[in-house]
Structure 1
Amino acid sequence: MNQPRGVGVTAVFVAAARALESARDDRLFNDPWAGEFVRHSGWNPPTDELDDSSRDELATWVAVRTKFLDDFALDSVDTGCGQVVLLGAGLDTRAFRLPWLRQVNVYELDTPDMVDFKAAVLGDTTPEVAVRVVVPVDLREDWPAALRDAGFRSDIPTAWILEGLLLYLPDDAVATLMDGIGKLSAPGSAIGASITNVDPTATMSDAHVVRDTLISREGWLSLLHWNGPEDPVAWFGSHGWRATALPTEELAQRYGRTMPDKSVLTQVRPGVRWLVSAVRNQD
């Protein structure tokens, strides 16, 4: 089995955080595959090397954004979206674990290497309700054509999920991605996204890097490109979407969680991590 590489490594870290949340008695969701992805990746998280605030921050951030986007996906389908698209799906398992009220196509786009790794872990597991459609494609390539070839229909409303994706794309690639989404979005389409305007390259010091991970600090920094807007509502508006943005801390409280007081991501450069839901403006 090929282990995740490059940006794919970050999906393993997110899976580890989802496994931690799933093990809680008061969990916000249950992802029974998350721990399996981590084990098959070959990484044994040495949690004793992370201070409590760093570990709690990552786990809480991932738990909150996962819950928010779970609810977004279900609400969007319940209110008319006929298909769901996960761009940079990574090790997402929403097609399997969400309680879909009706059959819906869930398209998962990611690189062939990530698709192969995920398939090797999942085996012959299939969703009970959703129809899962895997599209192996690099988002720097012609992903709209690959999506259409897989059966996607641009004439029906779509729920798009951009979770932990945009910061790994250069500015021009982010603009191209949003343009592509807009062209494929019928009236009634929606976007759920995680956005941060905290500069990750300024906050990841040597003290925050764990030994024996799947990637070095230099390798991680080389993956990070886009630093999000200070005003995500205005930014989505410039791309033709009417958005609502909530700070992570506010949602954490709503979900019964608390972000650490001294966030390693905001000590160096103040900023906000947002969770956004947006609907397509009517022409």
Structure 2
Amino acid sequence: MTAADSEPQPLPTVCRTAVWTAEMRADESLAPNPCAIDPWAAEFVTAAGPQGPPPGDAEARAFLHAGVAVRTRYFDDYLIEAVRGGCPQVVLLGAGLDTRAFRLPWPERVDVFEVDLPDLLDFKNRVVAGRVPASARRVTVAADLREAWADALTASGFDPARRTAWLCEGLLAYLEPDEADAVVRTMGEHSPPGSRVGVETATSQGRLSCLRSCRDALSADGAPWRWSLRDPGPWWAERGWRMEQPDPASLPYAAERLAPYLPLLREAGDTGGWLLTGTRCGSG
């Protein structure tokens, strides 16, 4: 890839978490039995240049790698199912260096809107270098999710009257509680009944001892985890979404990758509620 072979591109500090995540996806792509393969991830890492190691000590990084692998596969499957089930548009909130528009085998033509900060999208587009997904219409939407963002989304061609599959991956935990609430309420206001949502919700996982070094490192780097829910289901129900909370042990690939950590998760009461999917309530 031309951009990946050139000099590293400057990247704001606030976007370093996206590069770390891409690095984990690149490593996972080379694993013997990967949860997901992202052929673009290594190119983003190379283009970004040295960012330092992912946050935390070796134990935390191993746990995070397993978690990123599992959540990538989980949300890949969710999005394919949602589009197959009648959602013709996908919105990736806080898209980061997500490449699903390019790499997923979409069952039909779909509009994929990637919403994130302008600097990050500019970097991403330089690496992508103008290439077009095979079976999706990719639209980037420069917006700060801590501010009003819905107008920018609709101005980019998003239709709030059509069913939508939303994804909040690696996003809400970094927002203040009122900001996370505003994002979810805005999402609901632009979702007809039958729309879907996939979300990563910080619960007791954020308090696991093996992640303490990660949490401390992120705080020192200016990206602390600010928001969590002890019981996600009722919170989402109050905002019009019927959620499903799987136990990772019920998913074969997750049980395999998280096996060393399941006792810790169960002890913390966090076997469910970390990765959620849901449906917008109402008829239609």
What TM-score range do you get, normalising by the shorter chain? Answer: 0.7 to 0.9
CA distance in 2, matches of 1:103, 1:253: 28
- The CA deviation at 1:202 is 8.1
Equivalent residue for 1:225?
226
Equivalent residue for 1:112?
118
Instruction: Report whether the alignment pairs 1:174 with 2:175.
Output: no
SS at match of 1:186: coil
Q: Is the CA contact (8 Å cut-off) linking 1:196 and 1:271 kept in structure 2? A: no
Q: Is the CA contact (8 Å cut-off) linking 2:206 and 2:215 kept in structure 1? A: no
Deviations for 1:248-280, whole angstroms, at most 9, x for unmatched residues? 4543655632343489x979x935261111001
CA distance in 2, matches of 1:88, 1:249: 28
Q: Is the CA contact (8 Å cut-off) linking 2:184 and 2:239 kept in structure 1? A: yes
CA distance in 2, matches of 1:262, 1:153: 41
Deviations for 1:48-80, whole angstroms, at most 9, x for unmatched residues? x953x4332111100110101001100000010
Taking a change above 3 Å as real, the CA distance of residues 181 and 27 of structure 1, as seen in their structure-2 partners, is same
Instruction: Report whether the alignment pairs 1:87 with 2:93.
Output: yes
Equivalent residue for 2:281?
281
Equivalent residue for 1:18?
25
The amino acid that maps onto 2:19 is: V
> Larger deviation: 11-20 or 104-113?
11-20
The amino acid that maps onto 2:276 is: V
> Larger deviation: 71-80 or 251-260?
251-260
SS at match of 1:193: strand
Higher relative contact order (CA 8 A, sep 6+): 1
Equivalent residue for 2:136?
130
CA distance in 2, matches of 1:184, 1:44: 36
Q: How does 1:1-283 map to 2 (within 5 A)?
A: 1-6=9-14, 8-43=15-50, 50-51=57-58, 53-198=59-204, 200=206, 205=212, 208=214, 218-220=220-222, 222-227=223-228, 229-251=229-251, 254=254, 256-261=256-261, 270=268, 272=270, 274-282=274-282
- The CA deviation at 1:143 is 0.7
Matched residue count? 271
Taking a change above 3 Å as real, the CA distance of residues 216 and 43 of structure 1, as seen in their structure-2 partners, is farther
The amino acid that maps onto 1:232 is: P
- The CA deviation at 1:125 is 2.0
Taking a change above 3 Å as real, the CA distance of residues 201 and 126 of structure 1, as seen in their structure-2 partners, is same
CA distance in 1, matches of 2:253, 2:40: 27
CA distance in 1, matches of 2:74, 2:37: 14
Deviations for 1:137-193, whole angstroms, at most 9, x for unmatched residues? 111222100000000001110000010110011011111111101110012100011
Taking a change above 3 Å as real, the CA distance of residues 28 and 255 of structure 1, as seen in their structure-2 partners, is farther
**Greater helix share, structure number:** 2
SS at match of 1:160: strand
Structure 2 length normalisation: TM-score? 0.86
CA distance in 2, matches of 1:39, 1:256: 30
Unmatched tracts of structure 2, length 5 or more: 1-8
The amino acid that maps onto 2:68 is: V
- The CA deviation at 1:239 is 0.8
CA distance in 2, matches of 1:74, 1:279: 15
The amino acid that maps onto 1:125 is: R
Identity %: 38
Taking a change above 3 Å as real, the CA distance of residues 252 and 224 of structure 1, as seen in their structure-2 partners, is farther
The amino acid that maps onto 1:144 is: A
Taking a change above 3 Å as real, the CA distance of residues 159 and 209 of structure 1, as seen in their structure-2 partners, is closer
Unmatched tracts of structure 1, length 5 or more: none
- The CA deviation at 1:205 is 4.6
